[in-house]
Every structure is written in structure tokens, then in C-alpha cells.
Amino acid sequence: MKKLLLSALLSCAAVWAFATHNRAGEITYRWLSGYNYEITVTTYTKQSSPADRCELVVYFGDGDSATFYRSNGGCGVRCDCPVRDGVDTTNDIRINKYTGTHTYPGPGTYDIYMMDPNRNAGIVNIPNSVNVPFYIRSRLIINPFLFNNNSSPVLTYPPIDNGCLYKLFIHNPGAYDPDGDSLSYELTLCLGAGGVPVQQFNNNLPYNYQPNISVNPMTGDLIWNTPQPGPNPPFNSYPQEHNFAMLIKEWRKAPDGQWYLIGYVMRDLQVDIDNCPNNPPAITNVQDTCVMAGNTLNFQVTATDPDNDLITLSATGGIFNSVNPPATFTAPGTPSVPPVTGTFNWNTNCNLVRNQPYLAVFKAADNDPQNPLVDLQSVLIYVHAPPVSIDSAVPECNSIRLYWGTAPCNPNSNFVTGYKIYRKSSCDSLVPSPCETDVPASWGYTLVGVNNGYYNTVFTDNNLVYGVNYSYRVVATYSDGAVSYASPPFCTRLLMDVPIMRNVDVVSTGNSDTIRVKWIRPLAGANNLDTLAHPGPYVYKVYRGAGLTTPNFSAPVATFTAPTYSALTIDSFIDTGLGTDASAFVYSVQLFAQNGSDTLCRASNASSVYLSLTPGDNQLTLSWQYNVPWTNYLFHIYKETPTGSGNWVLLDSTAQTTYVDNGLVNGATYCYKIKAYGQYSDLTLPRPLINWSQEKCGIPLDLIPPCAPVLAIVSDCDASFNSLSWNNPNLSCADDIVGYNIYYTPVQGVDPTLLITINGAINTTLLHDSLFSIAGCYWVTALDSFNNESVTSNMVCADNCPLYELPNVFTPNGDGINDYFVPFPYKYVKDVDIQIYNRWGEVVFTSTDPDINWDGTHMKSKQPCSDGVYYYVCIANEIRLTGIQPRTLTGFVQILRQKN
């Protein structure tokens, strides 16, 4: 018996050796060459636990596995050298690293995982945690066509933290990617045996335990806001341990411009919560920031503590060790009296330019002996490329050719893919803020071109307008999607060596209308018309076209000649015999030198202002269009008062191109015209430029349909009627309803047809009666005095209540009483299909007549059937709202010819 007892105790000790063990951990990997990877499993275990793992089995996700031996710490205490002992730290934590290598068979998606028999005991949100396996995994995606040489994110901040009740808790893994890939973060589930999510984890726990946990997808800040006590054990006893899990995903941009997931690391982390009086330190709010490559970013980080505990201030992140040059953070190396200040410094260069930000995590830890707490501040730092510089802009007729220098930054790992060219029709001196790359939309620029290639630094902007000052900016683009700061503006204009349009003015409207066309003659001298290179005689040709866009350049409507530049004084043309009510007209003027043999540049097209009217109920909507090289900024609206008098009165003014004149009389005629005020951005040109539209008359008509009524229905199956009623819209949302259209369909889902038109707005009921079937759907529309019809009302439907029953006996003896087998009084049956059988299964009678009217004779022999019981199967085709619906009736009918 003693031996048996000792054996049992040893067995329990063996089980306990595997218990109270794993607290947190993750798996990371590093590319070596080809398909060779170094894999590291990092676990955080109970230092006080008798369980200790000198080795672990790691599964590579390709069907293979291997034993990894612990590789950190000293040797000789728990495990023989060269196997290491791990590193013991404060708060009962041992850090263990197990490292090995593996060669994968080729491209694929591989889930690397490790499972250890037990988590530590007492984890609050994992019931019976001492018997729940600890399972962690990471994903490696090998795709040589898209992703090469990929290593997982590196986590620099341990996954075990302390917190206090009612105090905001923050954890950050301090992750960075050695390949510069983008990272995102999300919560996931802790895993148990076989990689299955742990039972009752993540906001679905007993005792209403619902921690308010969230993860910032960009910074990785895991925030618990805030730990609260639970109502029952173990949720109201402290200290207590909680486990959560997060995924750190890495993304890479492929040549097709799409972002692809290329792997992730799962971190299983533990949070120790105590009911403690300590308050966490606080880092003064440090904002996300930006820096231009080549400049130095320098700022201070200050931490305080409400309990005046000593503070240790530090910083983690790949920005301090995985980039070149790295950033530095200088702070006191020992716990210090608050406030404690550290200095961040980063001498940036072009190799650091990228679209994604760099992450720096600042940590302030107090020295409370019982419950040390921390505050974390994650700061995103963007390194932006400096701007290019526009060297020159050369006008060429109605085009400008831009030249700029290559981008100052062109890192090999994130090369320049090209340039974006922006333009706007005025000059500015706007300067971007430190975090404003590209050209902000609020600046009013338009993207006019994209050049591909680092050395493609010339762009021609076509179809420009004379007399306009243009501002250009250029932005460099990078392979990962980054863009540089916008270049300083380059302001220029086309040469004044062509006629510049200034007026297309409708002088009169009628059967033979007149338009006055005016222009500004070309300027002579430097940067304008070179009269020595282009001597006279000079010829003006005026071109015209119907519409707003294109003149007919094959047939000038006027030609003017001047022997010398000084004699080139003609600047207008009166065009007659037009129909301005039917169409706008567009004009251009071109100058020729050397008596027409030397073709110079042509003026920009300019059209008349064309007014249109749209009638409405007691109103007219005015809208006008134009196509001019200048900017029209104001419009005066004139109205002929009274109509036909020739007296035009200013009605209103607007900067828009539409106007509504209301309060008019339907059926009356009203006439209008528009006076447009415009100008070029070049201050040396005349302003304002005034141009009239044609005169336009219209008649207000009510073309707006009234609102729809609301329809209701009362149905009576017995009396076979549907009673409809609806509201009168004149009492709510209309004023000229004169009648209603009622639409009807007997089958739901079929388009309705007009049933009846009812005159009179107050007639809002309809009795649809004497119906063979009341099944159907109804709609009503309202009609106004201009015969406008509203949209349909709501649909209302009624359905039949079919009735069809058969007796169980009849007496076909010729006495005129009950001589036929007929149904009881029935309703809403279209027809039937009845089969009557004798006791041998022979059909003796069939019919489709719903009245049946069987006289008891055999359908073939025409002889009376013998007295007795007959069986029937009858399908009654009932008339329903959804269509004809069959209903099967079965039963027995008895023939009795003898009288009792």
C-alpha cells in the first residue's frame, strides 16, 4: 500500500511539472537564403513553476517538425550546456528563446506553430487554464513572383504588463519590420489544443466579464479602458491574470500597385491586474509628426507621475535599430525624480523616404515596489521626400512646355516612378505644412499630367488660354506609393503674340440677329509678337461656328488686312443674319503675317452666352451656358417689363449659372436676357468684359406632378366587394387636385391597368362591388389641373376566402329532390377536376364543372350506378391573390335511391 501511495504522489508531481507554466509568447522568423529560414520561439513562463522546457517541438506548416533547444541565458543550472537556462526577470517571469532553421520545399503558405501542454493556472478569462494547452503560431507566405526575402516583424516590447483596477491600461508590442513592410494590428483569439480558440474567450465569459479591449490598427496600441472588478470569484479576487492575443500582419505593395498580406505574427500576451492604489505615470502628449528627408527631427518627451514615483523613460521600435541612420533617444539611465525628460533625435536622409510611417514607442515606468505601472505613447513619424524644382516654362502658341530637375531623393529600395504635374489659373505663394505632401485639394490645382520615369522631366500642357496667368507645381512619386512635397509654384502665361478674345456680345435678337465680336490686338516686342521675324502685311481672319465649342476654320466669316503692325488697329467685327434664339455661336480670330503666308497662333475660342428657360408651376428656371477663355464672375438678370414693351428691368444678380423666377402666372409670357461680367487673370488686360446673352421668352406651366395620396382598403368576402378610401392631397401637399386614377390587377405581381378615373378632389372613395373575385391589388394616383399625374400611392391588396364543400349523400330517384351530386353553395372557385370511383377503383364519373351535377349514372354505360358508397378525389382551383391555387378534397358520397 505504501508503494502504491508513493506511485500516486509521483504521478501527481509529474502532472504538476507540466502545470502553472506558460504565460505569453510568439514565433518570429528570419529569411536566410532561398527557402531557408531561421525560426525563433519566444515564451514567457512562470519562474517559480517546477515545469521547465529545455526543448520544444516546432511544426513548420509543411508537414515537417523539429526539436528546438533553448538558446538564451546561462547554462548548467536547469539544462546541460550548450542548452541554455533562459533569463529570469522580476515578477516571476522567465524568458525562453528556442531557435532553429528550416528549409521549405518551395512557394506556399505555411503556418508555423508550437503547442505546450499547459498555460499557467489562474488565468481569469480562460476557465481551468492550468489544463488548457498553450498554442502560438505565425504565418509565412513564400511567393517568389511577388515577395522575396521576407522576414517577420520583430517585437521589441515584452508581452507581460501590469495594470490596476479603474486605471487605463496600454500595451504595445514595439513591432518593426526589418524589410520595411507595412504593419497592421488586430485582436484575435487565444488558442488551445489543435489551434482551436480557447473556450469562453473574448467578451463571452461567465460573470458578465466583458473587458473593453481594442487595438489601434496602425500603432498596435492595445488599450483596456478600464479594468473593472467582477461580481464573483475569481473575478473579484486580486491580483489576477488575463490573457489576450493580437495579430501583427505585414503587407507589401506588389508591382501591380496592390497590397498583399505576406505573413503575420501572433502574440499571446498576459496582463496582471491588481486592486492597487498606484497610478500610472503619464507621458506628455507627443503628436505624430513629419520630417523632410535630409532634415533633422528633434523633440523632447516628458513623463510625470501623480504619485511622484521615480520614473524610467525609454523608447523602442525599429526606428532605433533597423534603419540607417537610426534615431536616438537620450534619457536618464536610472529611475529619476519626475518630471523626467528625454530627447529624440533623428538625422534623416533620402534612403528613409517611404509611404508608411516609422513607429517610435515611448515608455515611462514607475518604480512602485508592489505594482509597477507604465504609460506608453506611440508616435508615427513620416519621412517625406523633398520637392523638385521647376527650372523653366516655354510658351509655344497655346501650349506651355515645363522643364524641371530630377527628384532630389531616389533611393534604390524605393525608387522614383515618375512625376505628377498640377496647374491652376492663378498664381499663389502657398507653402505646405510639414505633413502636407502632394498638392492639397484646397489649393485649387488640377492634375493635368503624369510622367513615368525618373528622368522624364519635361511636360507640354496644351489647349491653354491667352491672357491667363498659370501656376504649375510638380510632385515626385515613389514605388511604394509615397509622394514628395509639392514643388514651389512656377507662374507663367502664354505670349501675347496672338489676338485675345474679349467679347462675343449679342446685340439684338430677332429674325436677323447681331453679335459683336471684339479682340485685343497682339502686343509687339520682347516675349510677344516679333514683328521683325514676322513682318507684314498682316491679315486677320474671323471664324464662326454654331454651338459652344468649335468654329469652322475652313471658311472665315470676315477678313481684315493691315500693311504694318502700327496699322493693325481693327479689333472688332459685327456679325449679322444670325439666329441667336436657336443656338449659341462660337468665334476665333487668327493673325497671319507676310500677307497670309506666315501662319501665326490662333486666339482661344469664345462663345456667346446662351440662355435657356424651363417652365414650372408659376415659375421659370433660367440657365445659361458659355465657353470663354476668361472668367465670368457675375451675371445680371434682366426682365422685360411689361412683356413686349422693350423696357428691360434689372431683376437680380448672381454668381451662379441658374436662376428661378417664381410667383408668375401660368400661361403668361415672360422674357429675359443675361448680362455677364468677366475678366482675365492678367491684370494688364481690360476688365470687366461685358457680354449679353440673346433674349429668351417662356411660359410658366405646371409640369410638376402632385404628391401621391395614401390608400386604404376594406374587404368583405361574403358581400363580394372592396371598399377603397384615400386622402385628398389638396388638404396637405397640393392645391389643384381635380381627380384620381384607380389602377387594379387581380393577381399580385402583375402590372396594373387603369380601372376608373374619378373626377373631383373631394371624391375619395370607391366601392368595387358585385365581384366574382375580390382578390386583387389597387393603387391610386392624383391628377392636377394641368393633367400632371402623381406617382402611385401605396399598394393595397385583398384576397378571397374560397369556400368549396361536397355533401356525403344524394338520392338520384327522379323525385326532383336531391337528385344530383352538387357542392354546397361555393365562392371564388374557377373550376374543378373531380374523379369519382366505385368500390372496385373504376372511374364512374369525371367533370371540370364546379357545379358537378352528377346524376348517379355511369359515364360510359349511361346506366344508373347501384346504390352504395363511392370515393372521390376533387381538385378545386381556387381564385387567390397570388393566382389560381389548387386545393385537393377527398371523401365518400353515398347513392340512395330507395325512400325510407
DSSP SS3 for 538? strand
The yes-or-no verdict on residue 511 having pLDDT over 80 is: no
The yes-or-no verdict on residue 236 having pLDDT over 80 is: no
Tens-place pLDDT, residues 129-179:
888 999 999 999 998 877 668 999 999 999 998 888 888 899 999 999 988
User: Comparing 163-172, 299-308, 347-356, which segment has the lowest mean pLDDT?
Assistant: 163-172
Tens-place pLDDT, residues 483-494:
999 999 999 999
d(CA 867, CA 854): 14
The one-letter code for the residue type at 258 is Q
Q: How confident is the model at residue 234 (pLDDT cuts 50, 70, 90)?
A: low
The yes-or-no verdict on residue 203 having pLDDT over 60 is: no
Instruction: Report phi then psi at 88, rounded to 5.
Output: -85, 135
**128 vs 625, residue with greater confidence:** 625
Q: How far is CA 21 from the centre of its chain?
A: 46
- Round the average pLDDT of the chain to a whole number and report it: 91
> Which pLDDT belongs to residue 564?
94
- Say what the alpha-carbon torsion angle 846, 850, 852, 853 is, to the nearest 10 degrees: -150
> Which pLDDT belongs to residue 411?
92
d(CA 368, CA 91): 12
Q: How many CB atoms are located within 10 Å of the residue 649 CB?
A: 11
Closest residue by Cα to residue 516 from 630, 606, 648 = 606
The yes-or-no verdict on residue 412 having pLDDT over 90 is: no
The x, y and z cell numbers of residue 507, run together, are 446685340
Write 730-737 long-range contacts (CB < 8 A, 24+).
Answer: 730/761, 732/707, 733/706, 733/707, 734/706, 734/707, 734/782, 734/784, 736/702, 736/706, 736/784, 736/785, 736/786, 737/706, 737/761, 737/782, 737/783, 737/784
> Which pLDDT belongs to residue 322?
86
Average pLDDT over residues 667-677: 97
> Which pLDDT belongs to residue 211?
66
Instruction: Report phi then psi at 333, rounded to 5.
Output: -80, -10
**7 vs 705, residue with greater confidence:** 705
Number of residues written out for the chain: 900
pTM for the full predicted model: 0.67
The yes-or-no verdict on residue 590 having pLDDT over 90 is: yes
Tens-place pLDDT, residues 782-792:
999 888 999 99
Average pLDDT over residues 411-415: 90
> Which pLDDT belongs to residue 683?
87
Q: Is 334 exposed, middle or buried (0-12, 13-18, 19+ CB in 10 A)?
A: exposed
Tens-place pLDDT, residues 74-109:
887 778 788 888 898 888 899 999 999 999 999 999
Say if strands 374-384 and 289-292 run parallel, antiparallel, or are unpaired.
parallel
d(CA 876, CA 658): 65
d(CA 616, CA 699): 9
Average pLDDT over residues 350-368: 93
Q: What percent of the chain has pLDDT over 90?
A: 74
**617 vs 100, residue with greater confidence:** 100
d(CA 686, CA 682): 9
Average pLDDT over residues 389-418: 94
d(CA 739, CA 753): 17
Q: What is the DSSP string of 146-175?
A: TB-S----EE-S-SEEEEETTS-EEE---E
The yes-or-no verdict on residue 14 having pLDDT over 50 is: no
> Which pLDDT belongs to residue 226?
82
The yes-or-no verdict on residue 697 having pLDDT over 80 is: yes
Q: How confident is the model at residue 230 (pLDDT cuts 50, 70, 90)?
A: low
> Which pLDDT belongs to residue 233?
60
Q: What are the C-alpha distances in Å from 804 to residues 209, 852, 881, 886?
A: 62, 12, 17, 12
Q: How confident is the model at residue 246 (pLDDT cuts 50, 70, 90)?
A: very high
The yes-or-no verdict on residue 448 having pLDDT over 80 is: yes
Average pLDDT over residues 206-215: 62
The yes-or-no verdict on residue 853 having pLDDT over 70 is: yes
The x, y and z cell numbers of residue 509, run together, are 435678337
> Which pLDDT belongs to residue 4?
31
Q: How confident is the model at residue 440 (pLDDT cuts 50, 70, 90)?
A: very high
Average pLDDT over residues 609-621: 94
Q: How far is CA 323 from the centre of its chain?
A: 34
Contacts of residue 447, Cβ cutoff 8 Å, sequence gap at least 6: 420, 421, 422, 439
The yes-or-no verdict on residue 231 having pLDDT over 80 is: no
Closest residue by Cα to residue 738 from 794, 770, 781, 783 = 783
Q: Is 836 exposed, middle or buried (0-12, 13-18, 19+ CB in 10 A)?
A: buried
Average pLDDT over residues 726-743: 92
d(CA 809, CA 655): 90
Question: Is the omega angle on the peptide bond into residue 339 within 30 degrees of 0, that is, cis?
Answer: yes
> Which pLDDT belongs to residue 617?
86
